[in-house]
Amino acid sequence: MKVVNAVIGGVRSTVENSTHGVLAVLNFGCKKKVPSAENELLYLSAGILAEKIRKTEISSEDVVKAYINRIGEINGLINAVVEGRYSDALKEARFADQLVKSGTYTETQLAEQLPLLGVPFTAKEAILIKGLPSTCGLVCRKGLKAEEDSEPVQRLRNCGAIPLALTNTSEICMWWETYNKLHGRTSNPYDTTRTVGGSSGGESALIAAAGSVIGIGTDLGGSIRLPAFFTGIFGHKPTQGIVPRGGQFPPALEEIAPYVVVGPMVRYASDLKLMLSALISKEATQRLRLNEPVDLRSIKVYYMLDDGGSPGSSPVCPEIKDAINRVASLLAMEGLVVKEANLKYLKLGFLIWCAYLSTIKEQRISNLMKGNVTSKDENDNDTAQHEMWRWISGKSDHTFPIILNACAQDHLAPLFKKPLEFFIKCGDSLKAELAALLEPEPAVFLYPTFPHGAAHHGQILANPFNASYSVVFNAAGLPCTQCPLGMNASGLPIGMQIVTAPGNDRLSISLAEHLEEKLGGWTPP
């Protein structure tokens, strides 16, 4: 087994190094980053913006104008926004200002009933906003518009927030880089030759570039946390099922529902609880005790610096390991119990996630590529193969990763039924390991989000196993918060995940808030 692992690791290392070298040469001299934001309103958290709007210290109209202007300034560089609703947003901002000035509500009533009044937000294009595109990057859905708001958008609206724009995503949210044939590629605001990850990459790029303050993402395989990691912001994968998923394309059908969530993406950790509370019901907020203070010294902290030695994934870079070690040391000095863990099944995280998703029979990628959800005809099994030949000849409307995923689902998964069953058993064992670690008493688990900072565009294709670090917690069904931990030597953000037990979202978020205060959180490009 050691020989096999060594061979796999050697091949992986050769492919990665070669790919990185070629892309570095091709991108030489092309690096750009977004300009600094000058308007001070763009540096205020959503919570502070809402408070100042309620107090009439600033106007919602000025805030919305500031973000519209910022999007105009940066979107040509990063291509994050698919479409905006700027005129309507300004009308709604003026209405919010009039409501505040009318005296209909006291300041306290506004804080309780409309806690996000006048604050703009954005959403990835998989989340429906009435009147805006509903394509999810599919050429065959070009021109389709959402007829109604999705449930998460409705809930934010009910709290007074104003939808501003939709952001780019990978094709049908099925890859870890934000690129599709309809809306193009989104670039990292810290270095435009680098990826923003996916699938919520447009959202993370816009927030990191100060083009949005809060946003909505979805997460089936790290789709909130990976982009948030690559762009240095906070992203939270909530407890399964607490945020409504209605109003998405692709929809979260029953089979896939245990693995996909809707969650907040923010620049400031202090906005995570505010936004999550807006997205869930009052009953769920009370059940999760989301707004109750947390005594951090009551939390046990476990951590791992890597997955334990999978030959398929890249070694975690020293900068990320050092950052997690610094966090562990800081928390220990503050009186928390901090212990290094050893979860042996984590190294199989990617294969466990693939195995769980292989049980999905109804929602096929080959159907989604046609713009359908569950319909099937006798030619559906040929879709992936047909599109692969079209891609080779340069005629396909689909990206290579989505075609590859469809081929794997339709043709590879049936061939590997026995191994997949084995990895499902391993996943069940991993769930038991994690439950033993996190559930008996309040605890969190610190773990890398990805082995290294943002890769060059296209580089993730050379080793998708690196997504193992995030997808494993979709398989395990655990809430976790991506927390930025500064910058690497290349000027790119790094971070880690704070994982906790279902229903304990407030623990991971509270620790993220604490670390933002101690370490600085988001760093402007």
3-class DSSP assignment, residue 458: coil
Please give the Cα distance from 153 to 151 (Å, whole number): 5
CA atoms within 13 A on the CB side of 438: 26
Residues 6 or more apart in contact with residue 87 via CB below 8 angstroms: none
Please give the Cα distance from 144 to 135 (Å, whole number): 6
Please give the Cα distance from 269 to 146 (Å, whole number): 30
- Token duo for residue 355: 């195995």
Would you say the C-alpha torsion 396, 375, 244, 130 has a positive or negative sign? positive
Cβ atoms of 312 and 462 closer than 8 Å: no
Q: If we measure between CA atoms, which residue out of 209, 198, 135, 143 comes closest to residue 166?
A: 135
Helices vs. strands in the chain: H and E counts, helices first: 19, 13
- Token duo for residue 61: 């109209």
Please give the Cα distance from 475 to 349 (Å, whole number): 8
Cβ atoms of 211 and 67 closer than 8 Å: yes
> Which amino acid would we find at residue 67?
Y
Q: Which helix (H) or strand (E) holds 57?
A: none
> Which amino acid would we find at residue 365?
I
Q: Alpha carbon 38 to chain centroid distance?
A: 27
Q: Which helix (H) or strand (E) holds 265?
A: strand 261-266
Q: What does the angle CA 141 – CA 142 – CA 147 come to, to the nearest 5 degrees?
A: 70
Q: If we measure between CA atoms, which residue out of 259, 331, 319 comes closest to residue 514?
A: 331
Q: How many CB atoms lie within 10 A of CB 303?
A: 21
Q: Just list the catalytic residues.
A: 124, 199, 223
Give the CA distances from residue 19 to residues 319, 372, 392, 493, in Å, rounded to whole numbers and listed in that order. 21, 35, 20, 21
